[in-house]
């Protein structure tokens, strides 16, 4: 196990007067993939929003490679090396594929060409506007956009949501390749089988608590936990 790339310590957060997270703590080590799982409404996306600086926590701390980032703006957190593939993709409809992959790119191993190698369909559509892509192609583009910033940590929030079964399979294969590349990744995903298949470690959020923290392999073997915490029969 290496150094913690992201550490979430005793985070309390919510919206308005409602608390969603209460003293949530977990960490992902450098070069590993963490599946962040839980039923709807338990705070998975809230965790992502706290890490990215979109939602200031009422208590607790987030550290990036040991350095607190809790009170930084989302722009500064991104510049320090946290990339986000947001829920719902949120591609820029007025930009072409090529423009999307180059406007925020930073130097590093992930270039537009490497994204095209991973997702050949995007190369074929490089001069097409994002608004004219299919949902699956937009998801590829959202992932590519995040990768060309060459993040140290990549957050993916429900990347398979709304995708066809064939596209889900393609994305699963990509996530396995990404895991093999040594990218540090936090994956929020409702498809529990897929998430556990591509992750090294897993955290299950319950209502205001951590229901499980350990290896993805261990959670896969715990049918009692899968059923109780995630409703996976």
**Cβ within 8 Å of residue 159, ≥6 positions away:** 85, 139, 143, 171, 175, 187, 189
- pLDDT tens, position by position, 77-133: 999 999 999 987 777 788 999 999 998 899 999 999 999 999 999 999 999 998 899
Concatenated DSSP letters for 152-211?
SEEEEESTTTT--HHHHHHHHHHHHHHHHTT-EEEEE-S-HHHHHHH-SEEEEEETTEEE
Look up the pTM and report it: 0.91
Domains identified in the chain and CATH numbers: 4-81+153-230 (3.40.50.300), 92-151 (no CATH)
- In this prediction, residue 1 carries a pLDDT of 45
- In this prediction, residue 224 carries a pLDDT of 87
| Secondary structure class of 111 (helix, strand, coil) | coil
Contact 219, 196 (CB under 8 A): yes
- In this prediction, residue 73 carries a pLDDT of 97
Give CA separation, 211 vs 55, 79, 97, 126, 161, in Å: 23, 32, 40, 43, 23
Q: What are phi and psi of 60, to 5 degrees?
A: 100, 180
Mean pLDDT by 10 residues, the chain (233 residues): 83 82 92 94 91 94 96 95 88 87 92 95 93 90 95 95 91 93 94 95 86 93 88 68
- Tell me the average pLDDT of the chain: 91
């Amino acid at each position: 196990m290496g150094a913690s790339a992201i550490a979430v310590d005793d985070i309390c957060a919510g919206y308005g007067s409602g608390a969603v997270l209460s003293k949530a703590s977990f960490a992902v080590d450098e070069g590993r993939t963490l599946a962040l799982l839980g039923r709807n409404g338990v705070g998975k996306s809230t965790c992502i929003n706290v890490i990215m600086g979109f939602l200031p926590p009422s208590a607790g701390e987030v550290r990036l490679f040991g350095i607190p980032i809790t009170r930084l703006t989302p722009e500064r957190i991104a510049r320090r090396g946290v990339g986000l593939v947001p829920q719902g993709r949120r591609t820029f409809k007025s930009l072409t594929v090529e423009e999307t992959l180059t406007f925020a790119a930073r130097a590093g191993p992930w270039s537009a060409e490497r994204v095209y190698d991973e997702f050949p369909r995007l190369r074929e559509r490089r001069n097409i506007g994002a608004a004219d892509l299919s949902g699956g192609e937009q998801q590829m583009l959202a992932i590519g956009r995040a990768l060309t910033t060459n993040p140290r940590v990549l957050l993916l929030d429900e990347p398979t949501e709304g995708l066809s079964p064939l596209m889900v399979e393609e994305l699963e294969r990509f996530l396995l390749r990404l895991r093999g590349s040594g990218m540090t990744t936090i994956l929020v995903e409702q498809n529990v089988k897929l998430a556990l298949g591509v992750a090294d470690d897993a955290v299950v959020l319950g209502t205001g608590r951590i229901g499980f923290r350990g290896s993805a392999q261990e959670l896969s073997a715990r049918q009692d936990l899968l059923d109780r915490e995630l409703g996976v029969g």
